[in-house]
């Protein structure tokens, strides 16, 4: 990455950085390089059943009756769908939620149809389920474009306008009041049943719930799937992932909504696909993933990225390395759940761990 690129990514922090230079100059050398915490892991109540290939999201316990100007707290962790060891065709419609206050799980309204790789997004107080794959006797990777919305965990899923075309395994986030879907995979042609029927896409869409409409934005520079997407410092990061034909990548790209433009950030220290990420105290944490060469396996590594310095460092490794899992920040911790403890669809996990730093 060039110095010019680094400057561009940190332009929002320019004044703050300049102010810090004068302070730093007067500090002793050891104060400029403190020993940073590495983080700690705590096991929590397991999920109701093992599940992988999930994209969970934060949500709230219930809808408050009547109008209110107070923001509703995001105090629950919600997962929907996924691949399981023992459901028909190994895909579920179940929606589960975890309450950190009680270290306990519950069940919410199931999805309208079973899905794996469906992306959950909390946007403007609603929970959305976007895309994903259906699986039955005809094929296991039937990509879907549906968008569903849930107001309350015990309520009914409402059909919204579908995406312009099938797209899944994308980076999907809530950003400035809109849902952004970037990259992932889409069908190559008319066939849409198995992995080989899809190719990487660079398409980038946003959904405006105000008029129930999808619109195109600048495409992602590097078409890839199985990435992790987060929002930090007012920009949208797409981290790592893999390509259908080229395997894992360590590419990190950043989208600025003010200019509708993407830029390159410093690559991950390792090329990791099937990973999960979340933001805690202004820093991005990327967890696990899988690899196929030289021997298939899963990554235990956890990486911390500082958007202000464009720098990665390793922190405490996962106690349960896995891929196809989820990571959600609630309060002062990140909750890492589900996934596969071996490469591909093997050894599906129900583990829930809390990461704090």
CATH of the domain at 241: 2.120.10.80
Spatial CA neighbour of 337 closest among 118, 54, 120, 61 = 54
CA distance 216 to 113: 27
Neighbours of 231 (CB within 10 A): 17
Q: pLDDT at residue 9 above 80?
A: no
What are the tokens at 37? 């915490």
Does position 155 have pLDDT exceeding 50, yes or no? Answer: yes
Q: Which of 147, 128, 125, 49 is nearest to 94 (CA)?
A: 49
Residue 209 lies in a domain: yes
Q: Is residue 34 part of a domain?
A: no
Cβ-contact 61, 75 below 8 angstroms: yes
Q: Is residue 33 part of a domain?
A: no
The pLDDT value recorded for residue 122 is 97
Q: Residue 13 pLDDT > 60, yes or no?
A: no
- With respect to residue 263, please indicate whether it lies within any of the assigned structural domains: yes
Instruction: Give the dihedral sign, CA 87/90/94/100.
Output: positive
3-state class of 43 per DSSP?
strand
Compare 135 and 32 and report the one with higher pLDDT: 135
pLDDT of residue 74: 87
Q: How far, in Å, CA of 124 to CA of 154, rounded?
A: 18
pLDDT, position 66? 46
Tell me what pLDDT residue 63 has.
59
Domain that holds residue 125: 3-21+39-63+72-356
Q: Is the pLDDT of residue 120 over 90?
A: yes
How many distinct structural domains can be found in the chain? 1
**Percentage of the chain with pLDDT > 70?**
88
Mean pLDDT score of the chain: 90
How confident is the model at residue 19, as a pLDDT? 30
Residue 197 dihedral angles phi and psi, to the nearest 5°: -85, 0
| pLDDT tens-digit readout, 205-252 | 999 999 999 999 999 999 999 999 999 999 999 999 999 999 999 999
Residue 178 has pLDDT above 70, yes or no: yes
Percent over 90 (pLDDT), the chain: 84
User: In this structure, is residue 29 part of a structural domain?
Assistant: no
- Confidence at residue 69, expressed as pLDDT on a 0 to 100 scale: 56
pLDDT-derived band at 6, boundaries 50, 70, 90:
very low
Residue 297 has pLDDT above 50, yes or no: yes
What's the pLDDT score for residue 64? 53
Mean pLDDT of 36-58: 97
Residues with Cβ within 8 Å of residue 78, at least 6 apart in sequence = 56, 57, 58, 59, 95, 96, 97, 98, 108, 120, 127, 153
Within a domain: residue 26? no
pTM above 0.85, yes or no: yes
Kindly state whether residue 220 falls inside one of the protein's structural domains.
Answer: yes
**Can you say how many angstroms the Cα of residue 70 is from the centroid of all Cα atoms in its chain?**
27
* Out of 25-29, 98-102, 114-118, least confident range: 25-29
Among candidate residues 39, 73, 1, the one with its CA nearest the CA of residue 283: 39
- State yes or no: pLDDT of 5 exceeds 50: no
Average pLDDT of span 154-183? 97
Residue 311 has pLDDT above 80, yes or no: yes
Q: Is residue 31 part of a domain?
A: no
Closest CA to 278 of 314, 316, 242, 325: 325
pLDDT digits (tens, 9 = 90+) for 166-177: 999 999 999 999
Pick the residue with more confidence: 294 or 184? 184
User: 126-139 burial, b for 16+ CB within 10 Å, e for fewer?
Assistant: bbbbbbbbbbeeeb
């Amino acid at each position: 990455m060039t110095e010019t690129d680094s400057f561009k990514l940190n332009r929002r922090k320019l004044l703050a950085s300049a102010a810090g230079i004068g302070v730093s100059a007067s500090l002793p050398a050891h104060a400029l390089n403190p020993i940073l915490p590495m983080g700690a892991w705590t096991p929590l109540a397991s999920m109701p059943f093992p599940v992988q290939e999930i994209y969970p999201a934060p949500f709230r316990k219930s809808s408050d009756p009547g109008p209110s100007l107070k923001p509703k707290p995001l105090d629950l962790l919600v997962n929907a769908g996924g691949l399981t060891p023992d459901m028909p065709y190994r895909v579920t419609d179940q929606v589960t939620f975890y309450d950190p206050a009680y270290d306990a799980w519950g069940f919410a309204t199931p999805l309208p149809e079973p899905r794996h790789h469906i992306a959950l997004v909390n946007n403007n107080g609603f929970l959305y389920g976007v895309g994903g794959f259906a699986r039955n006797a005809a094929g296991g990777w039937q990509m879907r474009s549906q968008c569903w919305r849930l107001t309350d965990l015990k309520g009914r899923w409402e059909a919204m306008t579908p995406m312009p075309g099938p797209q899944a395994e994308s980076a999907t986030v809530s950003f400035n009041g809109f849902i952004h879907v970037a990259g992932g995979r889409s069908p190559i042609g008319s066939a849409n049943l198995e992995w080989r029927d899809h190719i990487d896409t660079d398409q980038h869409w946003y959904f405006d719930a105000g008029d129930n409409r999808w619109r195109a934005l600048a495409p992602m520079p590097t078409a890839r799937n199985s990435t992790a997407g987060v929002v930090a410092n007012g920009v949208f990061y797409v981290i790592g992932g893999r390509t259908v034909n080229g395997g894992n990548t360590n590419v990190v790209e950043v989208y600025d909504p003010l200019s509708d433009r993407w830029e390159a950030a410093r690559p991950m220290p390792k090329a990791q696909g099937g990973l999960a990420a979340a933001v805690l105290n202004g820093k991005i944490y990327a967890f696990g993933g899988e690899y196929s060469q030289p021997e298939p396996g899963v990554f235990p590594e956890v990486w911390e990225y500082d958007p202000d310095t464009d720098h990665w460092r390793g922190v405490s490794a996962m106690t349960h390395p896995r891929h196809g899992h989820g990571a959600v920040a609630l309060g002062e911790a990140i909750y890492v759940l589900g996934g596969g403890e071996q490469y591909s669809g093997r050894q599906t996990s129900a583990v829930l761990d809390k990461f704090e730093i």
